[in-house]
Amino acid sequence: MSNPAQAPLLSAHQIERRAPIGDAVLLHPASLDIFGGEHLILSGPSGAGKSVLMRSLALLDPLCGGSLRFRGEPVGAAGIPHFRSQVAYCRQRPAVLGGSVEDNLRLPFELKVNTGRGYRRERVVELLAVAGKPPEFLAKDGRDLSGGEAQVMGLVRAMQLDPTILLLDEPTAALDPESTVQVENLVLGWARGRSSDVATVWISHDPAQDARVGTRHLRVVAGRLSDLPAPEAHAQAHQAMVQAAVGTDPRV
Amino acid sequence: MSTPAYLNDLSWFSLAIAALLILINGAISIALHLKLEKRLAIAALRTVLQLLAIGYILGWVFEVNRWYVVVGIMVLMTLVAGRAAGERGAWHYKGMRGDAVTSVWGSSWLVTAIGLFVIMRIHPWYEPQYVIPILGMILGNTLTGVAMGMDRITSELQARREQIETLLAMGATRWEAFRPAAQNAVRAGMMPVINAMAVVGIVSLPGMMTGQVLAGQSPDKAIRYQIVIMFLISAASGLGTVSAVLMAYKRLFSAEHRFLYWRLIENKGDD
């Protein structure tokens, strides 16, 4: 197994974001490396810039400075669709794109970036089972989904495409405890089979979640990314790393 | 064919009776709280003033019969139509009015040129009796197509922001993310002329044909012109709609496959 500390999957150098209108600083220059096998937790007060940072990592908003490298290579304008298919940003409330759950899951394969790949139902059914959803879930109308069900649909939609990094913007903030566990199982189960080839980044306000899934912890406060976690978060992050070490992480 | 005598002279009194009918619209607006009274009054007043003015102007233009006068009038008509096309709707973006003028201008002049020089083959090329009414009819419909296209594309993009961003985040190109909204907008912009073509002659007798027949032209001749006009109108309107939607695309999506949603600004107030 390669040493993930030597080659980050995604490397952000001094990336900076300003509001498109009014020029207010949304994210002060921030540098961040994301390594294979890790589950990075981003926390911080609401409106501090966690989502801004995460959206910047997916190049969804224009950067005002800094650079991004994916597997060591800079990402040019033409390469952005492919880059986003690899660094998949998942909104807190996934957009339902019409039709049934299965229609939603088929849709990405119509995109140019997925040319030559096909929808695989058995794969999807497998993923759904991890999240505690029966195959009948596929026939459900997308408009009737609860928050938790929509989240599962959104995550499976992203995971079936084999991304390298999942950027999860408060994936469980609006979910009940049971759905939260299902979503965590889904993501961690998906990642476990791929270990150092993939990574996940979570925005979370829940210390218990940090403890369950996190292997590293960063804070965003007032638009600044800090490597130094707050004392209580540090303890949690450490505990999480110990937990993760029992499982898959080779570094600890 | 002789013209019935009573049509020769619509008196001012008759016009005043017709004007009273606009009060029906005013009553509807008040009853349903549409807040359209002011716009309605201004629009009705403009109808009267503009038609009176154009009557005098056309009389003068026909008399002078110089190409630069005709072209000047054409430019003026086009600018007014283009501005009107960019003024409606709940959302706008910076540069939308310019885009609307460009869309109206390009598509209407191109199709008018085809109509006048390829189909009707007029001489001289600027003969105002043909150029002005035909451009006018094309402009009126292109304006509608462009306005509908602009209105629909901005509101669709606003309403679909989450979907568009989800598509982009999944690796869609900006065009792939834009396409569903564009399809709806272009469809909306083209529906009025398609509907008009479907019922023409049965439900509606178009203005130009009616005018020609009322003025004593044989229906057969008037109908041939009308067929040409209908196709010119639908071509120009379709072209204008597509142009408007593509221009919105250029403004609101970047080469980095980003949706620049903050460029969409909500229009405030009724005017």
Least confident of A10-14, A19-23, A149-153, B96-100: A19-23
B154 pLDDT above the threshold of 90: yes
Give the residue from B28, B46, B64 where a domain finishes. Answer: B64
Who contacts A2 (Cβ-Cβ below 8 Å, separation ≥6)? A36, A196
End-to-end CA distance of chain A: 14
Residue B255 with chain A: CB contacts under 8 Å: 77
Are B23 and B121 members of one domain?
Answer: no
Cβ of B176 within 8 Å of Cβ of A111? The answer is yes
Which of A115, A111, A154 has the alpha carbon at shortest distance from A131? Answer: A154
Residue B91 CA to residue B264 CA, distance in Å, equals 6
**Residue A198 contacts residue A38 (beta carbons within 8 Å):** no
* Banded model confidence at residue B152, pLDDT cuts 50, 70, 90: very high
What is d(CA B215, CA B218) in angstroms, rounded to the nearest whole number?
A: 9
Tell me which residue in A80, A90, A161 faces B257 most closely, judged by beta carbons: A80
pLDDT of residue A235: 53
Interface residue A103 vs chain B (CB under 8 A):
no
Q: Is A59 on the interface with B (CB under 8 A)?
A: yes
Whether A152 shows a pLDDT value over 70: the answer reads yes
Cβ pair A77:B257 closer than 8 A: yes
Mean pLDDT of A185-208: 90
Residue of B nearest to A62 (CA): B258
- Give the span between the Cα atoms of A112 and A67, in whole angstroms: 26
- Provide the whole-model pTM: 0.82
Nearest to A40 by CA among A235, A225, A210: A210
Q: What is the ipTM of this complex?
A: 0.86
pLDDT at A201 over 70: yes
- Determine how many CB atoms are found less than 10 A away from the CB of residue A33: 16
Same domain, B181 and B98: yes
**Cα angle value B200/B202/B204 (rounded, 5°):** 55
Q: What's the confidence (pLDDT) of residue A252?
A: 35
Instruction: Let me know if residue B104 belongs to a domain.
Output: yes
HSE toward the beta carbon, residue A202, CA cutoff 13 A: 28
CA neighbor of A39 nearest in space, from A167, A148, A130, A162: A167
For residue A63, the chain B residue with the least C-alpha distance is B256
Cβ within 8 Å, pair A61-B176: no
pLDDT at A4: 45
Which residues in chain A have their CB less than 8 angstroms from residue B172's CB? 81, 111-113
Chain B nearest-CA distance from A19, in A, is 10
Q: Looking at residue A6, what is its pLDDT?
A: 64
The Cα of B268 is separated from the nearest Cα of chain A by a number of Å equal to 18
What mean pLDDT comes out for the span A7-33? 92
Do residues B25 and B116 both lie within one domain?
Answer: no
When CB atoms are compared, the residue of A21, A62, A88 closest to B169 is A88
Residues B42 and B137 placed together within one structural domain of the fold: no
Residue B15 neighbours by CB distance under 10 Å: 10
pLDDT at position B262 over 70:
yes
- Nearest-Cα distance to chain A for B158, in Å, is 14
Confidence band for A236, pLDDT divided at 50, 70 and 90: low
Q: Quick one: tokens of A173?
A: 């903030």
Distance from CA of A219 to the nearest CA of B (A): 24
Q: Do A108 and B169 touch (CB under 8 A)?
A: no
Shared domain check, B232 and B109: yes
State in Å, rounded, how far the first CA of chain B is from the last one: 47
**Domain check: are B214 and B242 in the same one?**
yes
For chain A, strand residue ranges (E) read: 10-18, 25-34, 39-43, 65-70, 73-74, 87-90, 165-168, 199-203, 216-221, 224-226
For residue B48 the two structure tokens come to: 């009267």
Q: Are strands A87-90 and A165-168 parallel, antiparallel or unpaired?
A: parallel
Mutation target among A60, A63, A109, A164 for the B interface, most CBs of B within 10 A: A60
Task: Give A74-106 pLDDT, tens digit per residue.
Answer: 999 999 999 999 999 999 888 988 899 999 999
Question: Are B58 and B92 members of one domain?
Answer: no
Contact A81 B165 (CB under 8 A): no
Q: Is residue B2 part of a domain?
A: no
Residue A247, pLDDT above cutoff 50: no
The answer to whether the Cβ–Cβ distance between B163 and A157 falls below 8 Å is no
Q: How far apart are CA A39 and CA A202, in angstroms?
A: 7
The domain defined by A10-247 carries CATH number 3.40.50.300 = yes
Name which of A21, A77, A84 is nearest B170 (Cβ-Cβ). Answer: A84
Assigned token pair, A160 = 């079936």
Does the pLDDT value for residue B1 go beyond 80? no
Minimal CA separation from B92 to chain A, in Å: 16
Looking at the domain assignment, is residue B7 inside a domain?
no
One domain, residues B249 and B133: yes
Query: Does residue B3 lie in a domain region?
Result: no
Task: Report chain B residues whose CB lies below 8 A from the CB of A113.
Answer: 170-173
Residues B170 and B148 in one domain: yes
- How buried is residue B254: exposed, middle or buried, by Cβ count under 10 Å (0-12/13-18/19+)? middle
Parent domain of B74: 66-266
Residue B234 lies in a domain: yes
pLDDT at B271: 44
Distance (Å) from the C-alpha of residue B184 to the closest C-alpha of chain A? 15
- Residue A23 is predicted with a pLDDT of 82
B170–A85 C-beta distance less than 8 A: yes
In a domain, B271, yes or no: no
pLDDT, tens only, B86-142: 876 789 999 999 999 999 999 999 999 999 999 989 889 899 888 998 999 999 999
Residue A16 pairs in a beta bridge with A65
- B100 plus B54 within the same structural domain: no
CB-based contact, B258 to chain A, within 8 Å: yes
For residues A10-33, average pLDDT: 92
Contact of A80 with chain B, judged by CB distance below 8 Å, is answered with yes
Q: Do B167 and A60 touch (CB under 8 A)?
A: no
Collapsing DSSP to helix, strand or coil, A9 comes out as: coil
Which among B199, B204, B96 has a CA at the least distance from the CA of B154? B96
Q: Does one domain contain both B126 and B224?
A: yes
Preferred mutation among B166, B173, B263 to probe A, highest tally of A CBs within 10 A: B166
> Is the pLDDT at A231 greater than 60, yes or no?
no
Question: Do B44 and B143 share a domain, yes or no?
Answer: no
How confident is the model over A210-228, as a mean pLDDT?
Answer: 89
| Domain contains B194 | yes
Residue B9's pLDDT is what? 67
Domains: count for chain B: 2
Q: Tell me the pLDDT tens digit for each residue of B204-261.
A: 777 777 877 877 888 888 888 888 989 999 999 999 999 999 999 999 999 999 999 9
Size of interface A-B (CB pairs under 8 A): 71
pLDDT score, position B8: 56
Q: Is B103 exposed, middle or buried (0-12, 13-18, 19+ CB in 10 A)?
A: buried
- The minimum CA-CA distance between A242 and chain B, rounded to whole Å, is 33
Whether B135 is covered by a domain: the verdict is yes
For residue A140, what pLDDT is reported?
Answer: 95
pLDDT in tens, B173-210: 999 999 999 999 999 999 988 988 888 887 777 777 78
Task: State pLDDT tens for residues B39-95.
Answer: 889 988 998 898 899 888 888 988 988 999 999 999 999 999 998 888 767 899 999
